[in-house]
Amino acid sequence: MRAIELHRDAGAYALGVLEAADACRFEEHLTECSACVVQVRELGAVVAHLVAYAHRLPPGAVPRQGRRRR
């Protein structure tokens, strides 16, 4: 995995959707990249809000995609 790809993986890492090998490589990258540490921390807060929102929806409900003009 190239360094540029590692920077792009911050969102996937924060969401917990990276495969185990990629997550391990990204965690190694985090030891050397303070910018990615900050990004993961910030994205973690967004993920927490999304999880909280999803738990407030009734089972099977689909979130609205915004208002549509008629």
Q: Is residue 13 part of a domain?
A: yes
Model confidence pLDDT, tens digit, residues 6-45: 788 999 999 999 999 999 999 999 999 999 999 999 998 8
More confident residue, 1 or 17: 17
| 30 neighbors 36 (Cβ within 8 angstroms) | yes
Is 37 part of any domain? yes
Which CATH number do you get for residue 26? Answer: 1.10.10
Residue at 14 is within a domain: yes
Asked if 1 contacts 27 with a C-beta cutoff of 8 angstroms, the reply is no
Q: Please enumerate in sequence order all residues whose Cβ is within 8 A of that of 13, keeping only pairs 6 or more positions apart, or say none.
A: 23, 26, 27, 40
